[in-house]
Structure 1
Amino acid sequence: MTAEPATPLLDTVNTPADLRKLERSQLRQLSDELRSEMIAAVGQTGGHLGSGLGVVELTTAIHYVFNTPDDRLIWDVGHQAYPHKILTGRRDRIRTLRQGGGLSGFTKRSESEYDPFGAAHSSTSISAALGFAVANKLTGQPGKGIAVIGDGAMSAGMAYEAMNNAEQAGNRLIVILNDNDMSIAPPVGGLSSYLARLVSSGQFLGLRELARKFARKLPRPLHNAARKTDEFARGMAMGGTLFEELGFYYVGPIDGHDLDALVPVLENVRDAAEGPCLIHVVTQKGKGYAPAEESADKYHGVAKFDVITGEQKKSSGGPPNYQNVFGETLAKLADTDDRICAITAAMPSGTGVDKFAKAHPDRSFDVGIAEQHAVTFAAGLAAQGMRPFAAIYSTFLQRAFDQVVHDVAIQNLPVRFAIDRAGLVGADGATHAGSFDVTYLATLPNMVVMAAADEAELVHMTYTAALHDSGPIAFRYPRGAGTGVAMPETPKQLEIGKGRIVREGSKVAILSLGTRLAEALKAADQLDAKGLSATVADMRFAKPLDEDLIRRLATSHDVVITLEEGSIGGLGAHVLTLASDEGLLDTGLKIRTMRLPDLFQDHDAPEKQYDEAGLNAPHIVDTVLKALDKENLGHNSAGVEEARA
């Protein structure tokens, strides 16, 4: 059941300009209606819920006080921006969130002028806001750069790199630290809200600047003592010393749900004369919706749900999810191998490391949103004789590529990379698709790269990686449920660089890497029906290649098709390089590579994404027929169009 809320005040607000016409006394009602509208919308679409609920009042206050979009507002991460979307002219489309052709689940520049910077990976907001602020300063424009960054995102080094450089922006940069989990400061109350308003006021800032000017005329020891006394006094009361050392004027903590406290502070900071400012706001994830408040993860990501009861739409069962297969397998292996440990970068449940952590808490490490550190930490563990598994989403491992190269591959350290969310990811879209991992890993000397065709293969690859002590090794697997194959009672160690023949034929060879294997087998059936006998090989390894298998298939078949759910530069490129180096193409052999297209695919249902990418069985058949220049090509192309429809 999805109840449509009554929103008489929100109905009058289409843009922030409308919001700024309201009386301050009306903001409470508007926030309540905004929260109800968001709950109703996400109940219909699914998506990120708890984080957006926690920033309803903050969103309202920011747009009320600042002149958006001229003041550039950046959300870190963008999944907390659903209330922002509702207030910035997109309410009529809010029930299309994460649907094909609908609104993105994150901020997106092409979607609205109120989204000045796309943010789907964390910890980028301060750097981007600094860029906007400095650009305005250099060109004489009045706009500010405002970054709203969560306490989790503040665990990444990039946030501090930006803050260390922030003084160049002067008073045009404002950072709002949304503290909703780590409890950086003690609980807030009336006193701390009063202090926040006081220290952000023009009178206090004026007195403080006067004191600074006076202190500069003192001998240096007294000058330094005065500065330290000022910082220490406010640091004792409000925990801001760290941010002061980075050049920010610190205000907080304040209650992020108390509009009477929040609005005056934002107004004071907006009108401050000099220097970047950090406002520490404490919020409650899932605020205002009992099922979310009572949930352990505060309803971070949800399926469609009943707004009245909070009950989410349950899956109908079926095969286990890949991340759970990995986590449970690794936990079992660690039962008999005390060198195995697991590292995740703030995604324990998403990667399956939570399963491992329950069994082996002393060997499980969640390092926060710090993928660079995670990789080098794993390298240090490996150098000391441990068997570390760095379980990181493909799209997030990109953030640590230098560490993979410099700290792992060059030193040939046996770090095991468990790469989750490999390939297309449906509703999360281009920012979270694992499109590039095979390409960026298989170029590296010393690296072994595997791809699981199904959940049983994932068990074997996890075990193989655990035993691989001669250098780095990576294995990729997709989001979601497995294919339903029988699970092995005991894992087996795979021979490095060796694939397997799944189906034997004579005319066409399909070399599949990863979970498109099922589509390859469907295509083989369709080709057989056309009199084209097809071999299907599960290559298992993108690096090292099974060169013997490739040579055998290339010299005994007319057409070789490579199939992978990754970008150009992966399996297909490596097979073509081998064929070119060894003169296999001179024999008349036809090789065609099938891979993800050279574009960033928008969010949509997975089956539609695969069809757009041309990686389904009809496309495989069509590619073979084109290579063979068959007369019935037109008929099959019609079949592809029918599949797309």
Structure 2
Amino acid sequence: MQQSTHPSQSLSVPAATDSAAHLSALQQTYTAIPRTRPTTPILDAIDAPSDLKSLPTKQLITLVDELRLFLLYSAGQSGGHFGANLGVVELTVALHYLLDTPHDQIVWDVGHQAYAHKVLTGRRDKLSSIRAKDGLTAFPERVESVYDTFGVGHSSTAISAGLGMSLALRYQGREQTVAAVIGDGAMTGGMAFEAMNDAVQQDANLLVILNDNDMSISCSIGGFSRHLAMLWESGYQVDITTDGTPVLRQRPIMQAFNRRKRQRDVPQLEDNLFKAIGFTYFGPFDGHNIPELLRVLSLAKQVHGPVLVHIYTIKGKGFGPAELDPVGYHAISKLPTDDNEATTKQLVNSKVKAAPKLKFSQVFGQFLCDKAATDDKLLAITPAMEEGSGMIEFARQFPERFFDVAIAEQHAVTLAAGMATQGVKPVVAIYSTFLQRGYDQLIHDVALQNLDVMFAIDRAGLVGEDGATHAGVFDFAFLRCIPNMLIAAPKDENECYQLLNTCYEYKGSTAVRYPRGTGIGATIEQPAQNYQIGQAVVESVLGSDDAPIKLALLAFGTMVATAQQAAEALITDDSAKTDCQVQVVNMRWVKPLDTNLIENLLTQGVTHIATLEEHMIMGGAGSAVNEYLLNESPGFKHSRPVICNIGIADRFVAHGSQAEQLADCGLDVAGVLDQLQRLLS
């Protein structure tokens, strides 16, 4: 790395000794999440990374324990990402101890693991507000802190961003260290390898730290995961000498790490993938050994050119239950209050128990299993979101028809396209926000060839605490402009199931778009139905036929329920004194639109048309209605009703609960009612 003259150059860095390793072994493991603020005297004195510089190694280890305990407490208060943060406590302390941040730059990939970083960079007392409205963001964000060098939320971006920083600094003649921290799951994304290839081409001074915990959100899979496992299981490591020279040594035996055993021949470490690309490689090292991390990183950051330090960590480290169940503890909900606990007990003991509502991901999982049982052409693909997309049972029942391609959305889409050329029916289960990453493939490899591929698009609309990086509010716009695409937007669980079936049976490129979380409790009807493609449904007609004002409320997806409630309130609102009739329409399809129904409404003399969607107004479903009315509708040229599009304005929506986000956008019942009243006035 470029050698800088910042204060961390003169820090005392421990040698790799048995006593140092013994110190590291003193770290604590906890078994319960504290409900009261723990006592953390050393952590409380850290208001900025510079405060770390005077601490001796033994106090750094105590700080690690305090920080881990504080993270447990904070997660219990706020909920949020859990296991990954516990796994990088030692690494975070070591980086901020050795580097002169924010002069030196740390880039966190995805950001699931940045809570400890937030605590050490002046945000300790705000951590309990994380993911809450007006609180800290779930991920690093540049506007939140000068220590957050790059806004993240999607995987596999850190090396590209870090390389960009390094090259810009070199161009300006500025001597600063850039460190990119990336996980083994994120490293499966092709973008990471594109960046590594370019880093070697540019001979850039870039320190990449590969945090290998054998996990992404699900377990890591594939050839790259096996390669990392072989490096670990060889029993050797490429160590770094005081002059920065790599040297092969036998690695200390560490009972704490219990990677899944695989039968294979172990290759020589000097033939590892990173060295073959052109990186200087060091590792693998124990990512929970503070003295070892300080020694290795202090030397590695002074090596010229692209350097990769491979560390191995335990997801959920220091919290016993999370170490045993890293998938289950990827993220947690906030602990219930005493009142909530009493209410929960009361509900459990009650003789009358309400049937649980299904999540939309569960509806998709049920459809997938049901359909696969009757159609052996169904193959299912996910880019590393087996649990989140509701595919666990399908993977268990039909393992030979389940394809988890790791964090590789572009590959997932083109893989489906290739499958479709051979007479099978691939279903791609993907979050709306992640489908954005496979957009070129969606256009050129699927739609352009009009291949028989169905996209099951989860987490559509506002997603709450994960914030703007994960909001699925652009998919109507980027999908409906593509020829050959059909787009369905179900209003509830039953309609989701039936539209999945309808689009599956259609021969061509289709997408079914549904939200995060549970529905309204609608019962799924069997056998599965085939809806008429492009046909909307009038849900209700409220008010008198001879009312002077006639409003058609065209609602898309789960906004149908909101539209119904707003319409009822509009009709019964005495303060508005509006004599009107309201027809609530479940549009069901964004593409093709039910233009016949729209023409019928115009013939009936509607005076106002309002569209309602949980999506950006620009380019959304309302825009599709506008385009039809202005460019194609014969009835509109004569009746000229007043038109209003209700959706998300031209801005990114900050994190908060989903209900808070909807209210902030005017998409709750009160907000929609207000906009309708203004339209009619």
Q: State TM-score, norm by structure 2.
A: 0.84
1:433 pairs with one of 465, 471, 495: 471
Alignment of 1:263 with 2:294, yes or no, is yes
Q: Deviations over 1:443-475 (max 9, x none)?
A: 111100001100010110111122111x10001
Q: Secondary structure at the match of 1:491?
A: coil
Q: What CA distance in whole angstroms lies between the structure 2 residues aligned with 1:338 and 1:479?
A: 29
Alignment of 1:180-219 (within 5 A): 180-181=213-214, 182=220, 184-186=228-230, 192=236, 195-198=238-241, 201-202=242-243, 204=245
Aligned residue number for residue 279 of structure 2: 248
Q: What CA distance in whole angstroms lies between the structure 2 residues aligned with 1:190 and 1:455?
A: 50
2:152 pairs with one of 116, 119, 136: 119
> Residue 555 of structure 1: CA displacement?
3.0
> Residue 598 of structure 1: CA displacement?
1.0
Q: What CA distance in whole angstroms lies between the structure 2 residues aligned with 1:426 and 1:306?
A: 19
1:592 pairs with one of 635, 644, 667: 644
Closer, same or farther in 2 for the Cα pair 1:58/1:271, shift >3 Å?
same
Q: Secondary structure at the match of 1:299?
A: coil
> Residue 180 of structure 1: CA displacement?
0.2
> Partner amino acid for 1:627?
L
Alignment of 1:577 with 2:577, yes or no, is no
Instruction: Give yes or no for contact 1:48–1:300 (8 Å, CA) kept in 2.
Output: yes
Aligned residue number for residue 552 of structure 2: 509
Q: What CA distance in whole angstroms lies between the structure 2 residues aligned with 1:395 and 1:30?
A: 37
Aligned residue number for residue 641 of structure 1: none
Alignment of 1:490 with 2:520, yes or no, is no
Q: Deviations over 1:39-94 (max 9, x none)?
A: 11001110000000110101111111111111110111201000111111100101
Q: Deviations over 1:86-112 (max 9, x none)?
A: 111100101101111101111111110
> Residue 5 of structure 1: CA displacement?
1.8
Aligned residue number for residue 279 of structure 1: 309
Aligned residue number for residue 16 of structure 2: none
Q: What CA distance in whole angstroms lies between the structure 1 residues aligned with 2:178 and 2:485?
A: 42
Aligned residue number for residue 455 of structure 2: 417
Q: Secondary structure at the match of 2:44?
A: helix
Closer, same or farther in 2 for the Cα pair 1:189/1:324, shift >3 Å?
closer
Q: Secondary structure at the match of 1:107?
A: coil
Instruction: Give yes or no for contact 1:465–1:474 (8 Å, CA) kept in 2.
Output: yes
Alignment of 1:297 with 2:318, yes or no, is no
Alignment of 1:26 with 2:59, yes or no, is yes
Give the aligned CA root-mean-square deviation in angstroms: 2.2
2:418 pairs with one of 370, 376, 380: 380
Q: Deviations over 1:482-532 (max 9, x none)?
A: 111222132211111111111125511111110011111112212222432
Q: What CA distance in whole angstroms lies between the structure 2 residues aligned with 1:129 and 1:319?
A: 44
Instruction: Give yes or no for contact 1:379–1:413 (8 Å, CA) kept in 2.
Output: yes
Q: Secondary structure at the match of 1:330?
A: helix
Q: What CA distance in whole angstroms lies between the structure 2 residues aligned with 1:566 and 1:268?
A: 49
Instruction: Give yes or no for contact 1:66–1:270 (8 Å, CA) kept in 2.
Output: no
Instruction: Give yes or no for contact 1:238–1:253 (8 Å, CA) kept in 2.
Output: no
Instruction: Give yes or no for contact 1:252–1:281 (8 Å, CA) kept in 2.
Output: yes
Alignment of 1:46-445 (within 5 A): 46-167=79-200, 170=203, 172-181=205-214, 182=220, 184-186=228-230, 192=236, 195-198=238-241, 201-202=242-243, 204=245, 236-238=267-269, 241-272=272-303, 274-297=304-327, 299-305=329-335, 318-445=356-483
2:571 pairs with one of 517, 524, 528: 528
Q: What CA distance in whole angstroms lies between the structure 2 residues aligned with 1:83 and 1:110?
A: 18
Greater mean alpha carbon deviation, residues 2-11 or residues 536-545: 2-11
> Partner amino acid for 2:609?
V
Instruction: Give yes or no for contact 1:185–1:239 (8 Å, CA) kept in 2.
Output: no
Alignment of 1:39 with 2:89, yes or no, is no
Closer, same or farther in 2 for the Cα pair 1:306/1:566, shift >3 Å?
closer
2:596 pairs with one of 540, 548, 552: 548
Q: Secondary structure at the match of 2:180?
A: strand
Closer, same or farther in 2 for the Cα pair 1:238/1:263, shift >3 Å?
farther
> Partner amino acid for 1:537?
V
Q: Secondary structure at the match of 1:495?
A: coil
Instruction: Give yes or no for contact 1:238–1:252 (8 Å, CA) kept in 2.
Output: no
Q: What CA distance in whole angstroms lies between the structure 2 residues aligned with 1:495 and 1:97?
A: 45
Q: Secondary structure at the match of 1:109?
A: coil
Closer, same or farther in 2 for the Cα pair 1:353/1:6, shift >3 Å?
same
Q: What CA distance in whole angstroms lies between the structure 2 residues aligned with 1:160 and 1:187?
A: 18
Alignment of 1:612 with 2:664, yes or no, is yes
Which of the pair is proportionally richer in helix?
1
Aligned residue number for residue 615 of structure 2: 566
Q: Secondary structure at the match of 1:621?
A: helix
> Residue 588 of structure 1: CA displacement?
2.8
Aligned residues: 593
Q: Secondary structure at the match of 1:493?
A: coil
2:486 pairs with one of 434, 448, 462: 448
> Partner amino acid for 1:628?
L
> Residue 168 of structure 1: CA displacement?
5.4
- The alignment-based identity, stated in percent, is 44
Greater mean alpha carbon deviation, residues 179-188 or residues 5-14: 179-188
> Partner amino acid for 2:512?
F
> Partner amino acid for 1:204?
T
Aligned residue number for residue 480 of structure 1: 517
> Partner amino acid for 1:526?
A
> Residue 169 of structure 1: CA displacement?
5.3
> Residue 118 of structure 1: CA displacement?
0.8
Aligned residue number for residue 220 of structure 1: none
Q: What CA distance in whole angstroms lies between the structure 2 residues aligned with 1:116 and 1:586?
A: 56
Instruction: Give yes or no for contact 1:286–1:298 (8 Å, CA) kept in 2.
Output: no
Q: What CA distance in whole angstroms lies between the structure 2 residues aligned with 1:276 and 1:31?
A: 29
Q: What CA distance in whole angstroms lies between the structure 2 residues aligned with 1:587 and 1:412?
A: 37
Q: What CA distance in whole angstroms lies between the structure 2 residues aligned with 1:143 and 1:149?
A: 20
Instruction: Give yes or no for contact 2:35–2:73 (8 Å, CA) kept in 1.
Output: yes
Q: Give the unaligned 5+ runs of structure 2.
A: 1-33, 215-219, 249-265, 348-354, 573-577
Q: Deviations over 1:302-347 (max 9, x none)?
A: 111389xxx9x98987311110111111111110100111111111
> Partner amino acid for 2:622?
G
Q: What CA distance in whole angstroms lies between the structure 1 residues aligned with 2:485 and 2:513?
A: 13
Q: What CA distance in whole angstroms lies between the structure 1 residues aligned with 2:446 and 2:79?
A: 39
Q: Secondary structure at the match of 1:73?
A: strand
> Residue 617 of structure 1: CA displacement?
2.6
Q: What CA distance in whole angstroms lies between the structure 2 residues aligned with 1:240 and 1:532?
A: 76
Closer, same or farther in 2 for the Cα pair 1:177/1:205, shift >3 Å?
closer
Instruction: Give yes or no for contact 2:537–2:588 (8 Å, CA) kept in 1.
Output: yes
Q: Secondary structure at the match of 1:291?
A: helix
> Residue 132 of structure 1: CA displacement?
0.6
> Partner amino acid for 1:276?
P
Instruction: Give yes or no for contact 2:446–2:453 (8 Å, CA) kept in 1.
Output: yes
> Residue 351 of structure 1: CA displacement?
0.8
Q: What CA distance in whole angstroms lies between the structure 2 residues aligned with 1:306 and 1:577?
A: 48
Closer, same or farther in 2 for the Cα pair 1:67/1:90, shift >3 Å?
same
Q: What CA distance in whole angstroms lies between the structure 2 residues aligned with 1:31 and 1:485?
A: 48
> Residue 186 of structure 1: CA displacement?
4.6
Q: What CA distance in whole angstroms lies between the structure 1 residues aligned with 2:111 and 2:638?
A: 51
> Residue 427 of structure 1: CA displacement?
0.6
Q: Secondary structure at the match of 2:77?
A: helix
Q: What CA distance in whole angstroms lies between the structure 1 residues aligned with 2:209 and 2:424?
A: 40
Greater mean alpha carbon deviation, residues 609-618 or residues 127-136: 609-618
Q: What CA distance in whole angstroms lies between the structure 1 residues aligned with 2:52 and 2:344?
A: 38
> Partner amino acid for 1:435?
V
Q: Deviations over 1:613-640 (max 9, x none)?
A: 11123333333332332xxxxxxxxxxx
